[in-house]
Structure 1
Amino acid sequence: MSRREPVTLTNMCMIKNKDKILVLDRNDPVWPGLTFPGGHVEEHESFHDSVIREVEEETGLTIKNPKLAGVKQFYDQENHRYLVFFYIATKFEGQVQESNEGKLTWMTKDELLNSKLAYNFDHDLPVYFDETISEHMLDGKRDELF
């Protein structure tokens, strides 16, 4: 039995500015709706560096000291594991600049929770907002928070 498996590595970052959160309204036809900026980890790139790069590409902001909040894992159509490292950043430089990923908006937590979110993103949010939860596992048979 092999201890190796194909894995896709990605990240997502909740950027906070006082009581506001930067939200991305994705125009991706596969996963549209509100979510946080993020993307794929490149070969030989640290998770930390990848979230800084992805946030800058999608928002124009350079985040400082992003903190790992937790992780989501699920299996894709090919039954390969897909990991999303969830980060929170409260310090950043620059001006918000939209990319082709979608529209950016600053929202309160309540506004976010009462908006049209990307599919299943509401199940990810407890990892960001509840310090006792650090993992969201989704595998077709279960949808659990740990």
Structure 2
Amino acid sequence: MSRVSLFSSPLLLGFDDIERLLDRLGKTASDGYPPYNIERLTADTDASQHLRITLAVAGFGRDELQVQVEENQLVVRGKQKDDGSRAYLHRGIAARQFLKTFVLADGIEVMGASLEHGMLAVDLVRRQQEKLVKTIDIREGRG
């Protein structure tokens, strides 16, 4: 049985990627680890918008974290190395790996990332974009 969606309208050309993205977001939205904040920082005078995503990654070192931009997504990965030399009597802090993705709108750039006191901050900027208006010449005939 085929699935009918809002994006199957003939007026929405080329939105297949958005539909797949929404499906993926619905599946990963329930995972709350690691917890994170998204904040709007004070705007500069250049009309750009500055954002910061802060993830609570206590116990992870800089070499155990990876921040990448893959197509239109910010991907943050964390993988702790298991220290086999330790003999735990109780282990309440799990060495848990994670993958957290954030969809980036057009025009959003990742400016950098920093790790301090177990908090990973990823700074983003959205620059004011110029409105694009393009006039298409109309030719005679098909071709």
- After TM superposition, the score normalised by the length of structure 1 is 0.22
Relative contact order, higher structure (CA 8 A, sep 6+)? 1
Higher helix share goes to which structure? 1
Higher strand share goes to which structure? 1
Name which one, 1 or 2, has greater alpha-carbon Rg: 2
